[in-house]
Structure 1
């Protein structure tokens, strides 16, 4: 099985963990959309538009930029949902064969699922943070945001690679 065109398409049921990750990710992201709609009229014209690595606002922009943030989140959701649906196009080691293809597909799909949902949570938190700062509620995440993002995306990747290495 040298390339994705020769790989079989296998229907593998979604696991319980994938459903849980989806519930968490979609809940946070949907909640951020509802929150933005609810609070929109109270937002000032200028909201945080960018943060530096220390979590400090280094650019302010129009409140309409929050819609760009939502748009990027939706784009990532759709892209990763598509990748999740077609694990046969993912990159695999040469040891992929008929006896282990299902394990590889499932592991890869779980990794994409986790990353998709972590990204949705991160985008929801960025939006909440921007709204909180704009309304003067405070800066809840600040310096912790970059480490949380790196750890939140890094752990699923490292665990996915470790699980993949165990596949014979």
Structure 2
């Protein structure tokens, strides 16, 4: 299937590269901060938050270590995948005419989603040690949903499908 797709020829922009690095750095700093503060954490920590950012489930502080491990693996993996937009699934057909636009928007989507996942992770880590973290979790979760929706809209627009169907000459 990938053999039929045009190769990537565009150059990644500076903002996208910077956001990719920021996501990795945020996760790395959060993992380090959690490990340093782990001995001082209470034995029970929040593990889930409601829509208002209030903790509504609690668990062992060892869940902090599992979350740190998950993010330490997931963030670099997402960063790597974002550099391979040709292998991603798209909700539209890829053609020679739209491939580079789709690849660029696919890369941006993954970078923004991974960045907001990093912010959500950092917010969750803050919630382990502070009541202010719950509000940050809600804000980061909302941001993650928003950037995902915007990214999907941008991908559909980049496909040229919207322009074709809204054109007065569309048949």
Task: Tell me which interval the TM-score lies in, with the shorter structure as reference length.
Answer: 0.7 to 0.9
Matches within 5 A, 1:11-30: 12-30=10-28
Stretches of structure 1 that go unaligned for 5 or more consecutive residues are 133-138
Match for residue 83 of structure 1 among 81, 84, 105: 81
Seen in structure 2, the aligned counterparts of structure 1 residues 140 and 78 have a Cα distance that, compared at 3 Å, is: same
Stretches of structure 2 that go unaligned for 5 or more consecutive residues are 161-171
Find the counterpart in structure 2 of residue 162 from structure 1: 153
Distance in 2 separating the partners of 1:163 and 1:45:
44
SS at match of 1:58: strand
Find the counterpart in structure 2 of residue 142 from structure 1: 134
Distance in 1 separating the partners of 2:151 and 2:73:
23
How many residue pairs match? The answer is 158
Seen in structure 2, the aligned counterparts of structure 1 residues 141 and 16 have a Cα distance that, compared at 3 Å, is: same
Find the counterpart in structure 2 of residue 45 from structure 1: 43
Shift of 1:143: 5.1
Find the counterpart in structure 1 of residue 167 from structure 2: none
Match for residue 36 of structure 1 among 34, 37, 60: 34
Q: Contact 1:4 / 1:90 at 8 angstroms: preserved in 2?
A: no
Shift of 1:115: 0.4
Task: Note the aligned Cα RMSD (angstroms).
Answer: 2.3
SS at match of 2:2: coil
Q: Contact 2:23 / 2:115 at 8 angstroms: preserved in 1?
A: yes
Runs of 4+ in 1 over 6 A off after TM superposition: none
* More contact order relative to length (CA 8 Å, sep ≥ 6): 1
Seen in structure 2, the aligned counterparts of structure 1 residues 158 and 58 have a Cα distance that, compared at 3 Å, is: closer
| 103-112 or 27-36, which deviates more | 27-36
1:1-55 C-alpha deviation (Å, 9 max, x unpaired): xx43411332543311112212332232122112112212222222223333333
TM-score with structure 1 length normalisation?
A: 0.78
